[in-house]
Structure 1
Amino acid sequence: MVSQPSRRTVRGAIVATAAVVAAALPTAPATAQPTAADALKKYNELNEQASRINQDQLKAQDDLKAKQGELDKAKTDLAAAKQAEETLRGQVDLLTEASFGGARFNQLSALLVSNSQQDFLNRMTAINILATDNAEALKKLTDAVEAADTATRTANEATEASKKLLAEIDQKKVALAKQIEEVRAQYNQLNTAARNAISSRGDMSSILVPPGTAGKALEFALAQRGEPYVYGSNGPDSWDCSSLIQKAYAYAGVSIGRTSYAQAAAGRPVSRSEVKAGDILVYYSSQSHVAMAIDGTRAVHASTEGQPVKIADINSIGPVTGIRRIEG
């Protein structure tokens, strides 16, 4: 009679077999867990992308305003041209009726019906005046018709451009909303220390500003420390990066563009070694972020969602790609 293997023996065989199979299978590489530094880097990258989309949307809005201004002017020009056309057409009609009614004479008829030499000269003068008036009226009418045609074309082009910009703005709004969701999700993945550093108001101490326009603009920007960042906000209780800079210089009596793109071309360029209070610091190759220099090492800026307006080291904000001086 053949003996049956014990349960212990069977279990041992199963374990051994499993070990052999496991050894034969490829080993899956261990997935590295993202570090706090990686999460913060990703957060900053998403913020930069959101800022760029925000500035693109603002630029499209500015372009739309300009096109609407062109459209309004074209409509005004068209109305004026149409009115001029109607007036001049009436004048030409009157001159034409006068011509067919016998008011126009040629030199021979003027001579035949004249009673004297003076009468002939008078009739000839009238003929020349009538002919000149008619020619001028026809020229003005032609110009008015051409002006009306040009205004019509301009109005139509501005209308079509406005429609395209409106569609572009709608697309940018959707893209920005999606990007903001990603920023918020990444923010929630940051550790407590990182979130506390981001939400901190930073240096709130009194800072002496220089006299003049730049100093006055810097005074305004520093006064907004602690105010929240909101994409597309124009103040007075929340800001995005470029609205803070625009309103600061408006406070100092200087008008500059609304977007970081416009501000990247404002004033005159200066080098990194020349930076002084009030200079506009432009960041990233996309020119999607701006800050205002306090001195050669510090700047005040509206950074991004979750961060209040605060002071930061110039180089810590991001790669500086341009510096513009509004005053001096």
Structure 2
Amino acid sequence: MAAHRRSRQHPLTGPAVRTAATFALAGAATTTAFGGTGHAEPRPTAAQIKARVDRLYQEAEAATEKYNGTKEQVESARRSLDSLRDESARRTERLNTSRNALGSIATAQYRGGGLDPALQLALTSDPDEYLERAARAERVGAGHASAIAGVHRQLMELARLKAEASERMTALETRRAELARHKATVREKLTAAESLLSELTAEQRTAYNGGGPADAPARADRSSTPRGPLQAPSSRAAQAIAYAYGALGKPYVWGATGPGAFDCSGLTQAAWRSAGVSLPRTTYTQINAGRRVSRAQLAPGDLVFFYSGVSHVGLYIGGGRMIHAPRPGAPVRVAPIDQMPFAGATRPA
């Protein structure tokens, strides 16, 4: 009987062990697929979300300043190209006048029985054809040499203008492509920041954007607007500060220079423009506009810059405070300059 008794299988051998191994491997694969643990990543805290949003807004502002600078270059290149085209049109008109005069000479020569080869060349309507044939025309009739040489010079100048305009057009298209890239970067950063902010409660978002109703900081700041002459080093600085106070509560809009909305460098540019001082458009060019001053030398009206990349600027108003356009969702407001890492200061002329 013992010889015919079937041996008992161990619970972890045979088919059982294969089944267990299958489940174990499946579990291991699932664990690996979710980052090596069997638990979901913990939800970020409000503080972590705010830190990430701060970083995204800073990156967006750096991209905004690049956008502003490139936009300025695009506008400059476009104006230059328009000027070249206008000049080309004026020179073409003068050339046509000169050719009409030569046409009268040619008519007289033709009636007299011949037409000077050089004169034929000068009447060529295609500048490229003229330049190809000019080398073959070595002799110019003494009586008409000056007029023909004048047409020659005008054709050469038109050819130069045409080449220069082509170069400017290429540069313009390059700048426009850069502008589109910077614009896409700004929008990408702002969209990511808005997505993160949506994870906060309404109260947390309110606190992040100023700790109260959207216009509460503006109301408080307006009530503290200095009465009488401002303690500024010059009347122009006082005017710039007065303009900035008048902008309190207006929204931050990237690329905006007022009067209804501003980005950071747009606000400082507009404030000093109201005082008759022309500042460059971007933070990284404004920091070199005027006399550099140390933090200990700060006076009302100075421009104060922040972050290692000089990507943010505000207008100093004294007492360790500034007026600035912070970021989307946070309107123009008064803030301490210790709020961000200080990078330098400039006193506009």
TM range (shorter): 0.7 to 0.9
Separation in 1 of the partners of 2:37 and 2:192? 30
Matched, 1:326 2:337: no
Is contact 1:275–1:296 with CA below 8 Å preserved after alignment? no
User: What's the CA shift for 1:77?
Assistant: 1.4
Question: What is the CA deviation profile of residues 238-278 of structure 1, one whole-angstrom value per residue up to 9, with x for unaligned ones?
Answer: 22111111111121122222222332232232222211111
Matched residue, 2:284:
261
Separation in 2 of the partners of 1:176 and 1:60? 13
List gaps (5 residues or longer) in structure 2. Answer: 1-23, 114-140, 212-216
SS in 2 for 1:225: coil
Is contact 2:50–2:208 with CA below 8 Å preserved after alignment? no
User: What's the CA shift for 1:94?
Assistant: 5.2
Matched residue, 1:196:
207
Separation in 2 of the partners of 1:97 and 1:244? 66
Is contact 1:77–1:148 with CA below 8 Å preserved after alignment? no
**Residue identity matched to 1:179:** K
Of 298, 301, 306 in structure 1, the residue corresponding to residue 324 of structure 2 is: 301
Matched residue, 1:78:
88
Alignment of 1:152-171 (within 5 A): 152-171=162-181
Q: Cα 1:48–1:150, aligned 2, differ >3 Å: closer, same or farther?
A: same
SS in 2 for 1:308: coil
Matched residue, 1:59:
69
Matched residue, 1:15:
none
Is contact 1:199–1:306 with CA below 8 Å preserved after alignment? no
Question: What is the CA deviation profile of residues 12-45 of structure 1, one whole-angstrom value per residue up to 9, with x for unaligned ones?
Answer: xxxxxxxxx9xxx999599676444433322211
Separation in 1 of the partners of 2:331 and 2:48? 22
Identity %: 27
Q: Cα 1:37–1:167, aligned 2, differ >3 Å: closer, same or farther?
A: same
User: What's the CA shift for 1:95?
Assistant: 5.7
List gaps (5 residues or longer) in structure 1. Answer: 1-20, 103-129
Alignment of 1:1-328 (within 5 A): 28=37, 34-92=44-102, 131=142, 134-190=144-200, 192=203, 195-200=206-211, 201=217, 203-204=220-221, 205-207=224-226, 209=230, 210=232, 211-295=234-318, 297-316=320-339, 318-327=340-349
- In terms of Rg, which structure is larger? 1
- Count the aligned residue pairs: 275
SS in 2 for 1:282: strand
Moved more, 234-243 or 29-38: 29-38
**Residue identity matched to 1:322:** G
**Residue identity matched to 1:213:** R
Q: Cα 1:319–1:95, aligned 2, differ >3 Å: closer, same or farther?
A: farther
TM-score by length of 1: 0.73
User: What's the CA shift for 1:232?
Assistant: 2.0
Q: Cα 1:206–1:141, aligned 2, differ >3 Å: closer, same or farther?
A: same
Q: Cα 1:175–1:279, aligned 2, differ >3 Å: closer, same or farther?
A: same
User: What's the CA shift for 1:164?
Assistant: 2.5
Is contact 2:257–2:269 with CA below 8 Å preserved after alignment? no
TM-score by length of 2: 0.69
Separation in 2 of the partners of 1:322 and 1:77? 44
Moved more, 38-47 or 61-70: 38-47
Matched residue, 2:123:
none
Question: What is the CA deviation profile of residues 137-196 of structure 1, one whole-angstrom value per residue up to 9, with x for unaligned ones?
Answer: 344323212221121112212222222333332333322222111111233345635742
Moved more, 295-304 or 37-46: 37-46
